[in-house]
Amino acid sequence: MNLFQPIENRGPLSKQVEEELTRAIRKGQYQPLQKLPTENELCSIFNVSRTVVREAIKGLNAKGIVEVKKGSGAYVSEMSIKNASETLNMFFKLSSDQDVMLSTIDSRAMIEPMIAAKSALVRTEDHLAQLQENIQKMKQCPLENKRKEAELDNQFHRILLDCVDNPVLHLLVDPIFNLMPKFKLGVFAKSVEGNLEKDKEEMMHYHQLIADAIISQDAKKAENFMREHLRITRENYIKALKQ
């Protein structure tokens, strides 16, 4: 039984081979950690040169679909949430584009209000204790220690994500949260209005409102306060860019 479609004149041969191998992997014809056919076998299967096969495998490796082991061959990568998350983490870590940053805030505004609402319904006593401890540490954090403040701000939002306990949601949102301390330090290192105390009070005001809504299990209030919190974050980001 032939696993692959014939290679035709429809673009670069290496891309066609890459697409066929990707299709076979997605259909489960090659399982995670399973070795792909050798270079010679792939050359024979697709009737192409070694150069074409090597370019195709290089493309699959760059995408994290296969892992190339020197002297052994190409193996299907072990697909996992951890691997996927690491790829997203790298993208956000290397990105400093202003549009990406703005899109990140907009993405949070679409996702986090729902997380806050769900958290209000499913939170445990342990989560409430973590929120209260986080808010207390934020109050005690010196104004000049912006790095610690950024970490605590990030931790507050992570606690809400932990309440929901959804591994796919973690995959989608974790890389964004990993970026936020660096983002906050880079963009908001100086107060938009030159008033660090006012900025901190504003952030803590919304954190407390969100926490209180979650404590009282008021999902609608938690959602609305989070939406307003992120709306102001977006406005401050735009102001910071104009400075």
Q: Which domain holds residue 42?
A: 13-76
Do 47 and 88 share a domain, yes or no? no
> What pLDDT is stored for residue 187 in this prediction?
59
Nearest to 47 by CA among 95, 9, 86: 9
- pLDDT the model gives residue 84: 57
- Higher pLDDT, residue 183 or 137: 137
pTM for the complete prediction? 0.62
C-alpha torsion sign, points 127, 162, 217, 124: negative
Q: Percent of the chain, pLDDT > 70?
A: 79
Looking at residue 1, its pLDDT comes to 46
Question: How confident is the model over 22-52, as pLDDT tens digits?
Answer: 888 888 888 888 999 999 999 999 999 999 9
Indicate whether 168 and 203 sit together in one domain.
yes
What is the per-residue pLDDT for 16? 92
Residue with more model confidence, 119 or 98: 119
**In the structure, what pLDDT confidence band is assigned to residue 89 with cuts at 50, 70 and 90?**
low
> In 3D, which of 85, 84, 69 has the Cα closest to residue 174?
85
pLDDT at position 193, please? 47
CA 220/CA 206 separation, integer angstroms: 14
Q: Number of folded domains in the chain?
A: 2
Q: Are residues 34 and 95 in the same domain?
A: no
CA dist., res. 28 & res. 38, Å (int): 18
Q: Is the pLDDT of residue 79 over 70?
A: no
- Position 208 scores a pLDDT of 97
The span from the CA of 176 to the CA of 9, in Å, is 41
Average model confidence (pLDDT) across the chain: 84
Shared domain for 105 and 57, answered yes or no, is no
Distance linking the first and last C-alpha atoms of the chain = 64
Which pLDDT band, with edges at 50, 70 and 90, does 192 fall under?
A: very low
The residue to which tokens 């609305």 are assigned? 224
Q: Which residues, 6+ apart, have CB-to-CB distance to 91 below 8 Å?
A: 175
| 4 is a domain residue | no
Q: What is the CATH number of the domain that holds 158?
A: 1.20.120.530
Residues 99 and 68 in one domain: no
Last residue of a domain, one of 45, 76, 107: 76
The dihedral of CA 28, 33, 34, 36: what is its sign?
positive
Q: Roughly what angle, to the nearest 10 degrees, separates helices 39-46 and 13-26?
A: 100
Helical ranges in the chain per DSSP H: 13-26, 39-46, 50-62, 81-94, 98-122, 125-140, 146-164, 167-187, 196-215, 219-241
**CATH code for the domain of 28:** 1.10.10.10
- pLDDT tens for 207-226 read 999 999 999 999 999 999 99
Q: Give the Cβ contact number of residue 56 at 10 Å.
A: 26
Given 33, 61, 76, the domain boundary residue is 76
For tokens 């880079």, name the residue: 186
Of 115, 110, 109, 160, the closest CA to residue 134 belongs to: 160
Same domain membership, residue 68 and residue 42: yes
